[in-house]
Chain A
Amino acid sequence: MITLPVASQKTSHVRMTLNGEQVDVSFAPYKTLLEVLREDLGHTGTKHGCELGECGACAVLLDGKPVLSCLVLGVECDSRNVLTVEGLGLEGTLHPLQDAFADLGAAQCGYCTPAILVTAKSLLDQHPHATRDQIRAALSGVLCRCTGYLQIFEAVESAMVKIAQQNGSAR
Chain B
Amino acid sequence: MMRLPLFEFRAPRTLDEAARILDGQGPNTMPLAGGTDLLPNMKRRQQVPRTLMSLRYVEGLNQVQWSDSASRLGACLTLTDVAEDPRFRNGMTALSQAAALVATPHIRNMATLGGNLCLDTRCNYYDQNYEWRKAIDFCLKKDGTICWVAPGSRKCVAVSSTDTAPALIALGARVRLVSRSGEREVTLSELYNNDGINYIRRRPDEILVEVLLDSLHGWKSSYWKLRRRGSFDFPVLSVAAAARLSRQAVVEDARIVVGSAASRPLVADGASKFLLGRSLNSETIAEAAGLAARIAKPLDNTDFDMTWRKRVTAEFVTYALRELRGDDMHVERGSLTRHSFE
Contacts and interface: CB of A to CB of B under 8 A. Distances in A.
Query: Do chains A and B directly touch (beta carbons under 8 Å) in the complex?
Result: yes
A68 B107 contact: yes
B232 A54 contact: yes
A29 interface: yes
A119 B1 CA distance: 22
Given A30-B3, A140-B104, A52 B44 contact: yes
Interface size class of B (residues with CB under 8 A): 35 or more
Contacts of B2: 50-52
Contact of A66 (B5, B8, B105): B105
Contacts of B104: 56, 140-142
User: Chain A CB within 10 Å — which of B35, B50, B106 has the most?
Assistant: B106
Contact of A30 (B7, B34, B230): B7
Interface residues of A, number: 42
For the residues of B in contact with A, the DSSP-based class is: loop
A91 interface: no
Contacts of A6: 6-8, 50
Interface in B84-105: 103-105
Given A52-B40, A141-B104, A35 B1 contact: yes
Contacts of A76: 11, 54, 56
A45 to B, nearest CB: 16
A160 to B, nearest CB: 17
A34 B54 CA distance: 18
A3 interface: yes
Interface of B: 1-9, 11, 32, 34-36, 39-40, 43-45, 48, 50, 52, 54, 56, 80, 103-107, 109-110, 130, 230-232, 339-340, 342
Interface of A: 1, 3-6, 8-9, 12, 29-32, 34-35, 48, 50-54, 56, 59, 65-68, 70-73, 75-76, 119, 131, 133, 136-138, 140-143
28 contacts: A1-B45, A8-B8, A9-B9, A12-B9, A30-B4, A30-B7, A34-B1, A51-B2, A56-B104, A56-B106, A59-B106, A66-B105, A67-B106, A67-B110, A68-B36, A68-B106, A68-B107, A71-B34, A71-B36, A75-B9, A76-B11, A133-B339, A137-B105, A137-B340, A140-B105, A140-B232, A141-B105, A142-B104
Given A8-B8, A30-B4, A73-B9, 15 more contacts: A1-B5, A3-B6, A31-B3, A51-B2, A53-B36, A54-B40, A59-B106, A70-B39, A71-B34, A71-B39, A71-B107, A133-B340, A137-B105, A140-B105, A141-B107
